[in-house]
Amino acid sequence: MKHSARALATRDQPRDGERGRPGVTAHLPYWIVLAGVAAGLATVRGGNQAVRGGTLVIAGSLLAGALARLVLPEGRAGMLASRRRLLDVAALATLGIGLLVAGLIAKVPGS
């Protein structure tokens, strides 16, 4: 079945009552995860005693991102949705669990 160029050009345009691009709230989960990672990195920078806490904050942010990507519909996931849902969730959860384990078993120097 062939499609005309006009049909292909109008297929992705918003219909009446639809917005052409996602609103600010669609990107909110991404910004929350990004803020959590930034807070964790800022905590890690605090010194040797803060490495464990910062790592756990980053791990929690990534796991929250995985959960948000899993439960939110495509239009509400914003920039968390870069690939298929399962692949996004698997990547975020793997990184989050890896950092969680590393944060829990890491030896803090000087304690």
Query: pLDDT tens for residues 19-50?
Result: 556 677 788 999 999 999 999 999 999 888 88
Amino acid at 20: G
The pLDDT value recorded for residue 59 is 97
pTM of the model: 0.75
Average pLDDT, the chain: 83
Strands (E), the chain: none
Cα–Cα distance between 34 and 25 in angstroms, integer?
15
Nearest to 98 by CA among 55, 42, 36, 65: 55
Query: Which residue in the block uniquely carries the two structure tokens 């991102």?
Result: 65
Average pLDDT over residues 94-98: 97
Counting residues of the chain whose pLDDT is more than 90, the rounded percentage is 54
